[in-house]
Amino acid sequence: MVAQILFIAITVAAIALFSYNLRKVIRNIRLGRSENRSDQPQKRLMTMLKVAFGQTKMFFRPVPALLHFVVYAGFVIINIEVLEIMIDGIFGTHRVFSGLGLFYNALIGSFEFLALGVWLGCVVFLIRRNLIKLKRFTGVEMTRWPRSDANLILISEILLMTAFLIMNAADAKLQTMGAGHYTSAGAFPVSQYLQGFLPASESALIALERGCWWFHIIGIFCFLNYLPYSKHFHILFAFPNTYFSNLEPKGEFTNMASVTNEVKAMLDPSFTPPEAEAGRFGAKDVNDLTWVNLMNAYTCTECGRCTAVCPANITGKLLSPRKIMMDTRDRMEQVGKNIDKTGNGFDDGKSLLDTHISREEIWACTSCNACTQACPINIDPLAIITELRRYAVMEESQSPASINTMLGNIENNGAPWKYAPADRFNWADES
C-alpha cells in the first residue's frame, strides 16, 4: 500500500509540474501577434500526417532518417506500456494486461525489438555527435548547453531502454522460478539473453526487477518534465507546428494591412481605411512576431539541416538559420521570466534585433528559402528574418547602401537599376 501511495504522489506531482511548465510555454507563444492559420483544415491535416508522423522530409538523408524513425517510433510505442505500468502502480497489480494471452506476448516481444532498436540508434547518434563530430552539429550557436542537451537525452533514452530490458529479463527469470506475484506472461526475445548475467537468488531478482520498474517510470516522468527546457520539445510540438505551417508558396511575402490601406487611400480618395490599432512595421522584438513564429522557435530541433544548406553560411557569412530560431526562443524565455518577476509592460532595454540577432545576420540572408525547404518539421526562419528587415527599413530607415540604392532607383526610375525608364530598351536598338 505504501508503494501505491508513493507512486500516485509521484505521478500527480510529475503531471502537475509538466502542466505548470507547459502553461508558461503557451503563455510565451501567445506573446506574438495573432495569425489566422485555420484555413484549409484538410490540407493541414495531410501535411501534419505526412511531415510529422511520416517524417517524409527527413529521408533526403536516408541513414539518419531511418535511425531517427526507429528511435522515435520505438520510444513512442514502447511507452504504450506506461499505461500498464500506471495501472499496476496504482492498484498494486503486476502485468495487468497479461490476460490478453498471445496478443500480449506478441506485444511485449515487439516492444523488446523496438527497445533494442532505440538503444542501438541512440548509440549511433552519440558516436556521430561526439566521435565523428559531424559539421552540422557545430557552430557559434552550438555552445556547451545545446551540445550537452542532445547528449543528455540520448543517454537518458539508452538508460531507459536498458532498464526496460533488464526489468523484463528479471521478470522472465522470476516467472520460471515460480515466484509469487510474477504470473507467467509475455515473450522476451531480446531480454532472454540477459538472464545469464542476473543474480540467482529470488530476493535479489525481485529487488532488481522492482528497481528497474521504478527507474523506468520515474525516468519517463523526469523526461516529460525535462522537455520544456530542451530542444526535444519538438517531440510534442512537431504536430501542431506542421499543422499550422505556411501553405502558401515559399518566398511569397505577406502584405501588411496598414500599408495596403495606405496605398488604397492614395489610389482611391473615396476609400476610407478601417480603424486599426497603431502597430509597428515589421518586428523588433518577439511580441512583434506572430504566434506561429514563436511556436516555430520552441519546435526547433537544432538539427542544423537549415544551416547546412544556407548559401550565406556556406560562403562564410555570419548568418545561421538555426541561430535565428535559437535566439528567438532565448529572447522569448527572457521576456517570459521578466513577466514572471515584474508582470506585463516591463522593459529590460533589450530586444530580439541587435541584442540577440545582429543586422549583419539578417542582411546576409539571400531569401532563397533553402532553410525552410530543408527543415524536417516546416520551421520558417525566413519569416522572422523578413520581419526584422521590415522593421529596419520601414521604421528606422536603416539598411545597407546597396539596398538603399535599389529602393531609390525603384522610387525614381520604377526599376531597381539606375537607368531612366526612357532608356530601358536601348539594348534592343540595332543602331
Give the length of the chain.
Answer: 431
Q: Where does the pLDDT of residue 61 fall: very low under 50, low under 70, confident under 90, or very high at 90 and above?
A: confident
Window from 24-28, 279-283, 290-294 with minimum mean pLDDT: 279-283
36-50 pLDDT, tens digit per residue, is: 999 999 999 999 999
DSSP tally for the chain: helices H, then strands E: 17, 0
Best CA proximity match to 374, nearest among 58, 32, 7, 16: 58
- 198-218: average pLDDT: 93
Checking if the pLDDT of 363 tops 70, the result is yes
Distances (CA, A) of 220 to 18, 82, 163, 285, 308: 12, 9, 11, 36, 33
Q: How far apart are CA 296 and CA 337, in angstroms?
A: 19
310-328 pLDDT, tens digit per residue, is: 999 999 999 999 999 999 9
Q: What is the mean pLDDT of the chain?
A: 91
According to the model, what pLDDT value does residue 389 have? 94
According to the model, what pLDDT value does residue 63 have? 86
Intra-chain end-to-end CA distance of the chain, in Å? 101
- 180-186: average pLDDT: 83
- 6-29: average pLDDT: 95
Checking if the pLDDT of 158 tops 90, the result is yes
Q: How far apart are CA 298 and CA 294, in angstroms?
A: 7
- 290-305: average pLDDT: 95
According to the model, what pLDDT value does residue 276 have? 61
C-alpha 103 chain-centroid distance? 35
**What is the full DSSP assignment across 354-381?**
IIIB-HHHHHH-----HHHHH-TT---H
Q: Largest alpha-carbon pair distance within the chain?
A: 104
Q: Where does the pLDDT of residue 388 fall: very low under 50, low under 70, confident under 90, or very high at 90 and above?
A: very high
C-beta atoms surrounding 105 within 10 Å: 15
DSSP state of 249: P
Q: Where does the pLDDT of residue 277 fall: very low under 50, low under 70, confident under 90, or very high at 90 and above?
A: low
- 211-233: average pLDDT: 92
Evaluate whether 315 touches 248 at the Cβ level (below 8 Å): no
According to the model, what pLDDT value does residue 183 have? 80
Q: Where does the pLDDT of residue 430 fall: very low under 50, low under 70, confident under 90, or very high at 90 and above?
A: low
Best CA proximity match to 324, nearest among 280, 279, 360, 376: 360
The percent of residues in the chain predicted with pLDDT above 70, rounded, is 99
DSSP, collapsed to helix, strand or coil, labels residue 364 as helix
Checking if the pLDDT of 408 tops 60, the result is yes
Q: At 274, list the grid cell.
A: 478601417
**What is the full DSSP assignment across 77-101?**
HHTTHHHHHHHHHHH--SSGGGGGT
Q: How far apart are CA 12 and CA 7, in angstroms?
A: 9
According to the model, what pLDDT value does residue 213 have? 93
The percent of residues in the chain predicted with pLDDT above 90, rounded, is 63
Checking if the pLDDT of 377 tops 80, the result is yes
- 70-80: average pLDDT: 82
pTM above 0.95, yes or no: no
- 216-221: average pLDDT: 92
Q: How many CA atoms does the CB half-sphere of 424 hold within 13 Å? A: 9
Checking if the pLDDT of 119 tops 70, the result is yes
Q: At 162, list the grid cell.
A: 536498458
According to the model, what pLDDT value does residue 93 have? 87
Higher pLDDT: 195 or 422? It is 195
Helix axes 41-48 and 234-243, enclosed angle (nearest 10): 150
According to the model, what pLDDT value does residue 343 have? 83
Q: Where does the pLDDT of residue 73 fall: very low under 50, low under 70, confident under 90, or very high at 90 and above?
A: confident
Checking if the pLDDT of 110 tops 60, the result is yes
- 179-185: average pLDDT: 82
- 107-121: average pLDDT: 93
C-beta atoms surrounding 85 within 10 Å: 19
Q: At 75, list the grid cell.
A: 520510444
